[in-house]
Amino acid sequence: MMINLTDMKTVRSILSRHGFHFSKKLGQNFLVDPSVCPRIAEEGNAAPGFGVLEIGPGIGTLTQQLALRAEKVTSVELDQRLLPILEETVGEFDNLHILHGDILQFDVPQLLEQEFPGMHVAVCANLPYYITTPIIFNLLESSLDFTSLTLMMQKEVAERLAAQPGSSSKAYGPLSIAVQTQMSVDLALEVGHASFMPQPKVDSAVVVLTPLEKPADVGDRKQFNRVVKLCFAQRRKTLANSLSAALPGIPKESIQQAIADMGLPAAVRGEQLTLEDFAALSAALGREADGD
């Protein structure tokens, strides 16, 4: 019979039997809310015919729900102390493979090839919050062949991923733009801190990222990312002022002209620009820098 990993008494007893203490450094807040893991598994394409890559299985609460539904699950856990616990809690699943290591050190395309040959692959995770952004960037850079990425993160980071230009909050920025050029972003579920053991100070949210059929054409991505970063570096300044301070090699008049050519007002600020505006600006400034 499957162990009930959302029963606090059961969880405490397993942890104490293994002498386990939570590591704050590794972002260990385990889900103990019975309604959340099945929702993540369902939103996250864990289904027959699909492979699921899980990051950070912890004691296996979400892992159980994934392994019940998917063809195959591979879970990467950094904390070696959790391996014997996982053996006890999810060892019964013969469609589950636990790998020990740091997800940021894996060659993800090679991992997918090795673990899920010929399969559609989804990523599902209750992420360690201290490395949410590097993990997202790593996954985006390594493969767009994922069916979806269903990720639990701090609510504030989820809001940044979904933020739109001109939104009153400070949420819209380089992270929103980098993700939205490649993925559609859906906030699937908000999860309060009481759903975790131990309880984090912040609330969380589950976000589903799905690759766009046609990723935005941003030209030279390195140049695009650089321009986006510069546009947000000094949020209180107008775009023209902040870019001309950051790019002393380009005359301020040329920057003002590029902004006017895009049909934007002279006093526009970075947070009002759409993805298309950033792509046009990046191309115009690239031409300037090349001396056209």
* Tokens of residue 261, six digits: 């050519």
* Cα distance between residue 225 and residue 231, in whole Å: 10
Min separation Cβ 41 and ligand SAM, Å? 11
Output 99 or 250, the one with its CB closest to ligand SAM.
99
Output 79 or 277, the one with its CB closest to ligand SAM.
79
The site for ligand SAM, by CB under 6 A, has a size of 23
Amino acid identity, position 117: P
Does 51 contact ligand SAM by CB under 6 A? no
Does 133 contact ligand SAM by CB under 6 A? no
Does 112 contact ligand SAM by CB under 6 A? no
**Which positions ≥6 away from 224 have C-beta within 8 Å?**
181, 218, 278, 279, 282
Output 23 or 169, the one with its CB closest to ligand SAM.
23
Among residues 276, 279, 286, 273, the alpha carbon closest in space to that of 232 is found at 273
Does 26 contact ligand SAM by CB under 6 A? yes
Among residues 50, 204, 198, the alpha carbon closest in space to that of 127 is found at 204
Does 29 contact ligand SAM by CB under 6 A? yes
Among residues 38, 5, 30, 82, the alpha carbon closest in space to that of 195 is found at 30
Does 44 contact ligand SAM by CB under 6 A? no
Output 153 or 255, the one with its CB closest to ligand SAM.
153
* Cα distance between residue 213 and residue 144, in whole Å: 10
Does 102 contact ligand SAM by CB under 6 A? yes
* Tokens of residue 251, six digits: 């005359």
Residues that bind ligand SAM (CB under 6 A): 26-31, 55-58, 61-62, 76-79, 82, 102-104, 126, 128, 131
